[in-house]
Amino acid sequence: MRVAVVGLGGVGGYIAASFVKAGIDVVGFARGEHLKEIQAHGIKIVEDEQTWSERIDTREEDDLDGYFEGAFDVVMFCVKSYDLVDSFEHIRSHIDENTTLLSFSNGVNNAQTLRELSTCHVLDACVYILSHIESPGVIRKKGKVFAAVFGGEKEPTQKLAALFEKAELRFKTPSDIETAIWKKYIFISAFATLTSYYNNSIGFVYEHHKDEAEELLKEIAGFAKSRGIKIEDEVAKALQVASNVPYDSKTSMLKDFEGKKRVELESLSAYVKTPLMSRLYEELKSRV
């Protein structure tokens, strides 16, 4: 089984390292100093209770043609949502109709984007994890939270599940994968937007702007309901999660704002067209 992990940031780096540790054949794709450090010294994973490293065959996205004959069996896109299409085009020459594609990018329509681009098997997916690039070549994972959630076609789902089982990474394959993805999206959309708006952590937003967070969560649940997705019960659950994560936990979008990087405003804030979200989006857009 040949696996490509496109993007070795907090999500992709942790998954790729865990797969390699389990003996799975992985090629990773990264950029810049992060790429150079992984190529030279491997990727280091720093968790709360342990630190470990793995050597990963890591390349730039345009350093793929001629690498091998044939196609990847599985391609996991762990890039920002705005990079998904471009990343797919880079790897297109090494996929075929038997390849399974999935995206762990933020948002609820990534699988549909991949289906429009290819004739591959495409799974809907999302992932729960608190992790980020701490420094080039180093992934910092906070807490014990990890769950890869995916589903769709039966055989590709089983094939992917076998990989996560071998790597001893927690996974779920719900029958209603669309609702499952929205259950993650409601939290990350609300708190990515609010932490970025207030330029502060999830704990800060929960402590000082809980009512506003609840209002925004209810808006997102209502928006989902208009599309046939029932996640009203997730409002209270999302607030509970926010109260339990480490106080200083920051969303990836806030980190990107702080680092003056490109941000996922379109997939995390603009996608939900509701009064409060639209107001927050317009203000955040003015800061880009």
**Rounded Cα distance, 221 and 113, in Å:** 23
Domain identity same for 157 and 214: no
Q: Are residues 171 and 218 in the same domain?
A: no
User: With a cut of 70, which residues of the chain have pLDDT below it?
Assistant: 64-68
| Predicted local distance difference test score (pLDDT) of residue 64 | 65
pLDDT at 70: 82
Domain containing 157 — which CATH number? 3.40.50.720
Q: Which DSSP category does 18 fall into?
A: H
**For residue 62, what pLDDT is reported?**
76
pLDDT attached to residue 68: 67
Q: Give the CATH number of the domain where residue 253 resides.
A: 1.10.1040.10
Same-domain check for residues 156 and 205: no
Whether 113 and 127 map to the same domain: the answer is yes
Tell me which residue range forms the domain holding 280: 179-287
Count CA atoms closer than 13 A to 24's CA, side-chain side.
29
Both 192 and 169 in one domain: the answer is no
Same domain, 7 and 142: yes
What is residue 124's three-state secondary structure?
strand
Cα–Cα distances (Å) from 185 to 30, 48, 164, 280, in that order, read 25, 26, 22, 17
Looking at the fold, whether 130 and 263 belong to one and the same domain comes out as: no
* Cα–Cα distances in angstroms (integers) from residue 236 to residues 17, 147, 187, in the given order: 34, 20, 10
196 Cβ partners below 8 Å, 6+ apart?
251, 253, 254, 257, 263, 284
Q: How many domains does the chain have?
A: 2
| Domain-ending residue, one of 143, 175, 207 | 175
Which pLDDT belongs to residue 47?
A: 95
264 and 125 share one domain: no
Q: Which residue has the tokens 């769709």?
A: 152
